[in-house]
Chain A
Amino acid sequence: MTATVNGARVRLTDGVAPELARLLPEGICRTFRVMPYAVVDGTVLVAVADADDPITLQVVEERIDRPVQLVRHTTNEITDAIETVYPAVEGQIESSEERRGRVQMARMLTNSGLVTNDQLQMAMLEYSRTGDPLGDILVAHEAISEDVLVAALSEMYQMQRVGLSDFVPDMEIARRLPEPLAQSFQAIPVAATDDLVLLAVARPLDPEQAVAVEEALGSPFRQLLANRTELDQLIQRVHSAHYVEVSTVALLEARPEDSAHVVFTGGQKALGVCLLVAVVVCGVVWPMQTLIGVVAACSVLYLLVSFYKFQLTFRALGTHLEIDVTDQEIADLDERTLPVYTILVPLYKEAGVVRRLVQGINDLDYPRTRLDVKLLCEEDDTETIEMIRSLQLPPHFHLVVVPDALPKTKPKACNYGLQIATGDFCVIFDAEDRPDPDQLKKAYLAFQHVAGNVACVQAKLNHFNQDQNLLTAWFANEYSMHFELILPAMGAAGSPIPLGGTSNHFITSVLRELGAWDPFNVTEDADLGIRLHREGYRTAMIDSTTLEEANPNVPNWLRQRSRWIKGYFQTWLVHMRSPGALLRETGPRGFTSFNLTMANAFVLLLNPIFWGLTTLYVLTQWGFIRELFPGFVFYAASAMLFIGNFVFVYLNVAGSLQRGEFGITRTALLSPLYWGLMSWAAWKGAIQLFTNPFYWEKTEHGLDSGAH
């Protein structure tokens, strides 16, 4: 129950009761000019400047769980009280001019009936938290269109508008403003005379920006307000050739030694041939000893990889190794301090999931006005492009059409999107991903908690359709072990982490400095993780999950997995081009960890051979096989067969339990069958490494039973 009075006995000037001072958050107090200050007969007295504003009334009522009485005060009285309770922080307080503009915008939109009271209240509340422009908030929430906002701004600033949807630019004029300035100021020349350039801008430039632009153009200019989406598309069109070139060859030119454009270097080929010749010669001269040596080497490799994995997972079982970010910290986060966050979403032939994707991103607990979502489409994927256009998304969604050029890979699309990213941080999500709503805030807070050299925060991945069939359950078991146990342990140990395909959050500037993703590597994420480490950066894990679609179809799964394994081989070959440099840059521990992690792909190749030998021996008791496993080789092989295999089965169980996925615990017990599929994919990937190294085996999405 709320009542409004003009002259209460107790006034704000008598002082604010300490227990009431912070009853309402600072943003609410400043935005709505309210301040609770006393309790009389169980009723909270709230000082208010505009007691007739229904929005203010509702906001106050909803936030105080006791009877409230609004008491009219002067603006100065309330402002003074707010300043006392919440001392102003420079740069975070709305100036009177800004306030006037906000109020003018609100009145303009409400008076013309373009927004309802509910929409305005929602926007005001968000404004009270973020301090972002009211109009931008209304557009981001699709309460008004961008065109309406541009019209309102044009009225307020007395500026002309320009429509760019069907505009055909004169490239020479358009490129007069250098691309970095065009991107950062969101401005582009659209016409020019001898002494004046007409410049389309998203928002009026401030004086400093105006000086920079004039210097760059070399002539005076006049600003024309444009729709942000249309402007963004125009800038992309004008500079697409530059973006394509950078996204394709930047890493190759800057750091050719880090690029997978060549599968085997000359040195690697020579070494491989020498090794092969040596084995063949030894095989001819000492056939049995050579075979035993090969079996022993494989067994030792097996044992080392298994021991390393077990050690990592056992460590993770013993403690929580993720960066700790509590719900309370997230709740206490001052949204005014949040940076712009870029979300890169590569899409290919995924028109069917776009609507769901947009909803998922809008559901994120992050101010939409501080999101920079890049929907990265290939030029030939007209269906997805048209679908995105048809949705008429608000301007925080950016359709990015990547021109058709080889290699046509996800990393190239991401590199393209990264060039026009405006966020301080960026993250990749796949189209079908469902990140935890608070993931961006968690990642941002994690970056505040970790050491200065952490440039990447990896969230956990898992599946939403794990119950669809046995394959998806196994996939979920595997991911649970990998993301719940292995990666957190690697992160805590400071080892190089092969990043997961999505949900890796980066400091954008560091990512650019590193040359971003290698467009020639088919597991560009794993490669980037290693490159980060080599450059002295680290990756940390957070306890936040992105749910993906698990591949429910065996052929489709094999395509995906063979690509991953091929990429692991590529990554290993790239970084082992100069083992000495790798050792120097990563240290003995990092070097060992990298090799043992990548060796897992080799172990998958060996699995069927060892299983075949074991089966053959059990069935035939063939003495030749027994001779291959003398003494200690036999012990190592036996340990792997009887202990190692079970340990890995159990680690799948443990990962699922750790995750709270109790329903798929029993399927983990059958995971050796899944390993068979993995070995199949490994052989496919290994063969493809020689026959078609850069081919991107596209995974089909939307096969889950719910067809999300």
Chain B
Amino acid sequence: MTTYAAPVGAPEPVEDDVVSMKQRLSGIVQIVHQRPQDISKRRWESALVFFGFTGAYTWFGYWLVVQMHVVGFEPLDRLNRALMIWHNDPAKLSALGFDYPPLATLLISPLAIFPSVASSLAVVPVASAVFAGLTMMSLNTLARRCLVAAPLRYGVLIALALNPLVALYAASGARQFVWISFVVMAMGAVVAWYVTADVRFVMLAGLAYSIAALAGYTSILWFVLTAFMIGAILARLGARGPEVEGTTVGFSAPTVYVIALWTVFNLILLSHPFEWVTAARDAGGSGPGSFTGVELLQDTWWLVLYAAPLAIIALPALIFVGASRNNPLATWLGLLLAAAIVAPAGSVLLGLSDSPMQMRNALPILVFAVIGCLWLARSADGSNLIVSGVLIVLLLASIPWTFHWMKDYRYQNLEAPFAAAISTRQSQEGTTTVPGAKVGIADEQAMADYIKDNISEPNSILTDNSQTYAVMLLTGQPRLFFDRVDQSDGPWLAAAQDPAGVVDYMLMSTDTSQDLLSQMYPSATTGSDPRLSVVFSTDRYVLLTVPTTFDPTATTDQTITSSTDGSTEGAGQ
């Protein structure tokens, strides 16, 4: 900048305590008002990766779900809730419920705008494939920022995508990749921030974490650690207090807001602000189980060894590089990976999991290990190619290893049927999972088909939607059902106790352990309640008619009490 000397004899300058922009920005560590040195945008490449992996997983998922019948009940439950948001009578946002993180359902709700699409099994894999595609797209950008050459980058993505655990959860509609995709997006932004010092990436990371937090509560753990990481790195770089505080506030605000909002909702609607933490559940959960400390350590080891062995190499490498090369991001990525490893055991200790030590808990471990290795590749400078190559080899080597252990790993969901379907190419309908659950949806489909063909009156079928969601979904017509969401639990219970004149039918599960209607009318589930005649039944469900002459006091005096939190208990007298 050219400067002009003050002329001799010029008037005295006016005193001015205004701090100019240049002065204000001079003490700032991060890049502001400058174009940072960063990778160029390649939208076409991102789009290609996204659509490529989404398409591949959708295609694979269609084979897995529709032909092999390897389908979990959790995605069906969420899809039914999504369907109820749009097409219930009345349409209600409260169909989201409180037992799943709300965004895990809300984010897939666009898939349910058209009932015929939602009721088709083909939409199930899309519910996870889209997010798996997003994950791969974010990893690709992250790898580009880590200077991994294109062939190696694609090698890493393909090797990771072929991992059987990844493939199962990316293609079966499960919700894990919903939140993982946003965590990876956030981590990609954090790495970009570290590389470019551009504060905008902190904000993008904060926004991504806020979505992740309400799509999977586990991500809050990494959010908290990342907040500390940002503050610590800035302080280490010599940033002043306001910069550290402002940046951390900018990062944290979205996530803190969504958590606070959700807590307030819980307080207002369930009278318990932290119900979302303590009562989270999963359709098809295996139950909390009990573990000793040693067992938890052992199970953590097996989990990492069988499902994410890459972490065993990545963790010490990150810590070593962080300490020896003055590379704070490597250290922090190591800490984030360590948190992913101990998180499953931690949730057991805190009593926060209804499906402890599940194999799917290795997914974030695997993803964080890959992120860590990509950063190691960037940190390796001249050895970038070698590190990337080794990463691909390790990922490829773990494919048969993990596939083998999926067949009989103790804590699992659909891993064994998945492995069986891959090995035998035969439908898994009717087989059982390792924990003993029956695989398949033939019963649900048969019941749904019957209802679609024979019933058209809205709100004519009384049902406990928390147990019959799969049938409701497959009909594609939630308006046919008088469910617990329609008018909340109070009116529903009243109708359940005296259904005559309110509904024409009752749909209940033959399993009386969870279904409120089955608990109220246990004999009806076997067709032996004289007041209710069976119209149609399958092994899992029974549809009964409710005559206008139905006498609620005639043979049963079951009483149901409902708590305000939406969980309901049956108490026989």
Q: Which residues of A contact B (CB under 8 A)?
A: 116, 118-119, 122, 126, 129, 141-143, 317-320, 324, 327, 330-331, 335, 355-356, 359, 362, 365, 368, 391, 434, 436-438, 462, 464, 543, 545, 547, 630-632, 634-635, 638, 642, 646, 649-650, 653-654, 656-666, 669, 706, 708
Contact = CB atoms under 8 A, between A and B. Distances in A.
B25 A660 contact: yes
Contacts of A391: 11
Interface string B233-253: 000000000110111011001
A131 to B, nearest CB: 14
B564 to A, nearest CB: 15
A635 B261 CA distance: 16
Given A642-B261, A662-B246, A666-B249, A436 B7 contact: no
Given A660-B28, A665-B249, A669-B249, A122 B257 contact: no
6 interchain residue pairs of minimum CB distance: A662-B246, A660-B32, A665-B246, A141-B7, A663-B242, A464-B18
Contact of B246 (A142, A324, A436, A663): A663
Given A646-B257, A663-B242, A122 B18 contact: no
A635 B242 CA distance: 38
B247 A657 contact: yes
A635 B92 CA distance: 9
B324 interface: no
Contacts of B3: 365
Nearest to B41: A319
B254 A122 contact: no
Contacts, number: 136
Nearest to A359: B14
Contact of B4 (A141, A324, A331): A141
A356 B13 CA distance: 8
Contacts of B18: 434, 464, 547, 706, 708
A440 B24 CA distance: 20
16 contacts: A126-B4, A330-B1, A356-B14, A437-B1, A437-B20, A632-B91, A638-B93, A646-B257, A654-B203, A656-B246, A658-B200, A662-B247, A663-B242, A665-B246, A665-B250, A666-B245
B90 interface: yes
Given A141-B4, A359-B16, A438-B1, 4 more contacts: A116-B8, A119-B9, A365-B1, A657-B203
Nearest to A317: B200
Interface residues of B, number: 48
Contact of B1 (A318, A331, A650): A331
Contacts of A438: 1
A657 B35 contact: no
A212 B2 CA distance: 38
A130 B379 CA distance: 49
Interface of B: 1-5, 7-11, 13-14, 16-22, 24-25, 28, 30, 32-33, 35, 41, 90-91, 93, 199-200, 202-204, 207, 242-243, 245-247, 249-250, 253-254, 257-258, 261
Nearest to B207: A650
A653 B93 contact: no
Contacts of B257: 646, 649-650
A666 B246 contact: yes
Given A122-B5, A660-B33, A665-B245, A141 B250 contact: no
A545 B14 contact: no
Given A635-B93, A653-B253, A665-B245, A141 B199 contact: no
A141 B10 contact: yes
Contacts of A649: 253, 257
Contact of A650 (B33, B202, B247, B253): B253
Interface of B is mostly: loop
B233 to A, nearest CB: 15
Contact of A653 (B1, B14, B32, B250): B250
A664 B243 CA distance: 10
Contact of B14 (A126, A355, A543): A355
Contacts of B16: 356, 359, 708
Contacts of B19: 464
A660 B1 contact: no
Contact of A660 (B17, B199, B261): B199
User: Chain A interface secondary structure, helix, strand, loop or mixed?
Assistant: helix
Contacts of B199: 657-658, 660
B88 to A, nearest CB: 10
Contacts of B243: 662
Contacts of B93: 634-635, 638
A254 to B, nearest CB: 39
Nearest to A659: B32
Contacts of B8: 116, 118-119, 143
Nearest to A651: B203
B30 A660 contact: yes
A464 B33 CA distance: 17
Nearest to B22: A436
B133 to A, nearest CB: 19
Given A141-B10, A143-B9, A324 B247 contact: no
Contacts of A119: 7-9
Contacts of A330: 1
B203 A335 contact: no
B367 to A, nearest CB: 23
Nearest to A324: B35
Nearest to B257: A646
Contacts of A362: 4
Nearest to A122: B5
B90 A122 contact: no
Contacts of B13: 359
A335 B202 contact: no
A370 B252 CA distance: 49
Contacts of B242: 662-663
A706 B16 CA distance: 8
B443 to A, nearest CB: 33
B113 to A, nearest CB: 12
A122 B246 contact: no
Q: Which of B5, B7, B19, B250 neighbours the largest number of chain A CB atoms within 10 Å of its CB?
A: B7
A648 to B, nearest CB: 12
B4 A547 contact: no
A118 B247 CA distance: 48
Contacts of A434: 18, 20
A317 B247 contact: no
Contacts of A656: 246, 250
A663 B240 CA distance: 10
Contacts of A335: 2
Contact of A631 (B28, B90, B245): B90
Contacts of A368: 4
Contacts of A663: 242, 246
Nearest to A706: B17
Contacts of A666: 245-246, 249
Given A119-B7, A666-B245, A708-B18, A365 B2 contact: yes
A697 to B, nearest CB: 26
B95 to A, nearest CB: 12
Contact of A662 (B5, B10, B245, B253): B245
A387 B139 CA distance: 64
Given A355-B14, A359-B13, A634-B93, A657 B7 contact: no
The winner among A330, A638, A658, A664 for most chain B CB atoms within 10 A is: A658
Nearest to B261: A642
A341 B354 CA distance: 72
A519 B20 CA distance: 33
Contacts of A142: 7, 9-11
Contacts of A642: 261
Contacts of B5: 118, 122
Contacts of B21: 436, 462, 545, 547
B20 A669 contact: no
A547 B250 CA distance: 23
A624 B293 CA distance: 56
Contacts of B30: 660
A653 B178 CA distance: 26
